[in-house]
A and B are shown apart, each in its own frame.
Chain A
Amino acid sequence: MKKQSFRSDLSRAKGLGSAGHGSEHWMAQRITAVALIPLVIWLIYSILNLIGADYEQFTTWLSQPLNAILMILFVIASLYHAMLGSQVVVEDYIHNKKLKMFKLIGQKLFFFAIGITCIFSILKIALA
């Protein structure tokens, strides 16, 4: 496989990247993507094992420390990744400035709200 570089000669010479927020956003999207690979595999494996589980079995499973921790990590990684991703989608397609701000802020609050809901629920079950 041939490896290709994105950097211009000047940027390579200076050894510095962009100083804006774009690179942080981009990097965070990739870091959460990498974290999600094992987490997604764990989640699907767990769901397949939990098919038909009743309330008792499900809450017992989720109160295992390892399961509770991995579920919290999945929730944080996936919602953060989804928040970053849908921000880009809105930026690409919504050109009306006011509507764009409204959507971006609304989206952020929405993801925070469902993230807190998930984490609180997991902790309540795990620490019950």
Chain B
Amino acid sequence: MSDIFKKQRPLSPHLQVYKPQMTSVMSIMHRFAGIALSVGSLLLVWLLLAAATGPEAYNIFMVFAGSLLGQFMLFGWTLALYFHLCNGIRHLFWDVGYLFDLKNAYRAGYLVLAATYILTIGTWYCVLYH
């Protein structure tokens, strides 16, 4: 009996078959951002450990943070954090049962992208002109 069902059951297509959509791209970006933030935690550990060690270690961290590579990493950190924060809130809405219909899933998605953009630019405006 199970043989019949096995033969007729459609195979699930591979991911590459699907056209990327805003919803699916944002979904995988949430994961990338989460991983990037986990790695970024190492910067915070470094800062706290350096400050606990003494002025010299602290200054080494500050020189790195101000370097081109350091600024690039910090920019990536704010971008990932803001995206993950805003999209995480979108996730939490789903978790309590809202925003499931296509129209609102897309609306909230565009809102997340706009908020990420504004927050990142705003933060770096403060950094550069504080």
Interface on A for B, CB 8 Å cutoff?
1-6, 30, 33-34, 36-37, 40, 44, 48, 51, 55, 58-59, 62, 71, 75, 78-79, 82, 85-86, 89, 114, 117-118, 120-122, 124-125
Contact = CB atoms under 8 A, between A and B. Distances in A.
Contacts of A89: 31, 34-35
Contacts of B42: 114
A121 B41 CA distance: 14
A55 B38 contact: no
Nearest to A26: B95
Nearest to A53: B62
Contact of A55 (B37, B59, B88, B127): B59
15 contacts: A2-B101, A3-B97, A4-B97, A34-B92, A37-B89, A48-B127, A71-B48, A75-B44, A82-B37, A82-B38, A86-B34, A89-B31, A114-B45, A118-B44, A120-B52
Given A79-B41, A89-B31, A30 B95 contact: yes
Given A117-B48, A121-B52, A122-B48, A82 B95 contact: no
Given A4-B97, A48-B127, A48-B130, A55 B81 contact: no
B98 A118 contact: no
A120 B52 CA distance: 9
B85 A82 contact: no
A117 B45 contact: yes
Interface in B39-89: 41-42, 44-45, 48-49, 51-52, 54-55, 58-59, 78, 81, 85, 88-89
A125 B130 CA distance: 27
Contacts of B49: 117-118, 121
Contacts of A40: 81, 85
Interface residues of B, number: 36
Nearest to B95: A30
A79 B38 CA distance: 8
Contacts of B126: 48
Contacts of B48: 71, 117-118, 121-122, 125
B34 A82 contact: yes
A20 B94 CA distance: 22
B104 interface: yes
Contacts of A48: 123, 126-127, 130
A111 B100 CA distance: 34
Contact of A37 (B54, B85, B130): B85
